[in-house]
Chain A
């Protein structure tokens, strides 16, 4: 009995899509390699922001009236803003809300969306119907518009903006995982598990969800770029991080008034968003080619 059970219950793994294979492809493609390095670098900067920033207190919002609107120099490589704060320090400290929070948003969206998608796809019938109709409700709105509405219903603040983004992003993962689950359901290893009487919850947790990880990862990489842009947008509109705390989107908004005379205030945080999002999109493109060469969107 156990001789029969063991091989048939093992989830299938494709040799070409192993972690090592992904690393090799990324290492061979200069653009992806640079993107990966940029992403890791920015995450490290965000994590150790207080240690790295030359003026950590100004980065967090302390004003320095003696140094207002200084143009970039050795002392202040990105210049200073209208309250005399070192822009470089603020870009570094601002990486936390602008980069780490979106990563958290995507993680939570996956944690909510993926299990629902797996349940909908696996169970079918009315469960599927109910879950997918609710999903449709959320997808009937442009994501950023929905996030803006929810964020303003909750009140301003970084946490509330992040929550609003999670609420408007999870349905995408439900839809994705449901699609993958529908095709996994037909595979032998799932049928085998059903045949030996494994419970539905165990099949979903142990056999379906682990096999949806690669498409989720690809989607998440591309989504991270979009969510960083959305988060920056909310901050720009004043719905995210509140002053005097730094956030890239907020800094662009604050520097906008001085764009013609002191362009550095808005430019450096703007470039930071652009570079990070570009890196995620380039990497996401490569990942998509590896996991699904046919579906290059």
Chain B
């Protein structure tokens, strides 16, 4: 074998010490960003509104309530003191009470999280499984009709508003061909026929673990349309990015060398080239998570999906200010964590990334 296969390629010297240092530095950076995030949410929650106390009580605020909440939130104190009070509450997991449900915002969020995560993960999984092959195909046949088709598909994907795509899919798959359910996470009568025993909160996983095949099928069918709706935008982004980085890699000398050795085209494209092109795609997948996170808000409204998004929209409509601020903070923290994971993954996958930088 003249040319070592890529998986046996020599890793460039990265000592465990260097790796540890990189991870620690990256963790520290994320921590700093999190402090920044808390300052931003503090400003939006307490400083930007002209009547923060009123927002925290709701539309029917009485003067004595306003006075009480002003005291409680420390709104009459200087900003740094207010921030300390705010942070103290945050660190104790106290995001306040939801005006809509009168229950702690944190409980509301964590209770709805599995439904949203199930949707988010399946959407992102679909986006990766469709987006990356589309991008590779497009780059492999650059300038050919298939490339053109993929470019058009991916641009259409990033141009379609999720809230409109969802409605269109409902019209077609539910009303016209009666193939898929209209909305919700499970059928209404499922809890009488074969109820799901909740273990993880991920219904697909729960029904699988308990061998509840009737429920599994039901959950799967309900998950399809929301997943497709959510995945449309990420598919477009991932396909475009994969195409771009594949094109760059396919021009490299070592690919030409591999071709000269007569290695099969499939092997070159999918092993040698894709391996080196996957890095930038990973970054995009990280960014896409953010889009998908806000995307779930619209998808959940359209499909009446009982997750965080539906709760967010209800809170927005009901002026449930503590809930909105809790969700904002939660979303931002999630985003920071995803970026951290992507960075660490990328450094792990791609030995060329300098650990010194960033």
Contact = CB atoms under 8 A, between A and B. Distances in A.
Interface of A: 133, 136-138, 140-146, 148-150, 152-154, 225, 229, 232-233, 236-239, 249, 252-253, 256, 259-260, 263, 266-267, 270-271, 273-274, 277-278, 281-282, 285, 295-297
Interface of B: 33, 36-37, 39-41, 44-45, 48-49, 55, 151, 155-156, 158-161, 163-164, 167-168, 170-171, 174-175, 182, 240-241, 243-244, 247, 290-291, 293-294, 297-298, 301-302, 312-313, 316-317, 319, 321, 324-325, 328, 331-332, 335-336
Say whether chain A's binding surface is mostly helix, strand, loop, or mixed: helix
A145, A148, A232, A273: most-surrounded residue (chain B CB, <10 A): A145
Contacts of B159: 225, 229, 274, 277-278, 281
Nearest to A273: B161
A46 to B, nearest CB: 18
Given A149-B325, A239-B316, A260 B40 contact: no
A137 B321 CA distance: 22
A270 B297 contact: no
A53 B24 CA distance: 61
A229 B40 CA distance: 24
Given A145-B294, A237-B316, A260-B174, A296 B244 contact: yes
Contact of B37 (A141, A154, A249, A270): A141
Nearest to B284: A297
A219 to B, nearest CB: 15
Given A142-B290, A266-B164, 10 more contacts: A137-B39, A145-B290, A148-B324, A153-B49, A252-B161, A252-B167, A259-B171, A274-B159, A277-B159, A281-B159
A154 B48 contact: yes
Contact of A136 (B33, B155, B241, B297): B33
Contacts, number: 145
19 contacts: A136-B36, A137-B37, A142-B290, A142-B335, A143-B290, A148-B312, A148-B316, A148-B324, A149-B324, A152-B321, A153-B49, A225-B158, A225-B159, A233-B294, A237-B316, A260-B171, A267-B167, A270-B168, A278-B155
Contacts of A137: 36-37, 39-40
A150 B41 CA distance: 9
Nearest to B324: A152
Contact of B48 (A142, A150, A278): A150
Given A142-B335, A154-B48, A237-B316, A252 B163 contact: yes
A273 B164 contact: yes
Nearest to A284: B155
Nearest to B243: A296
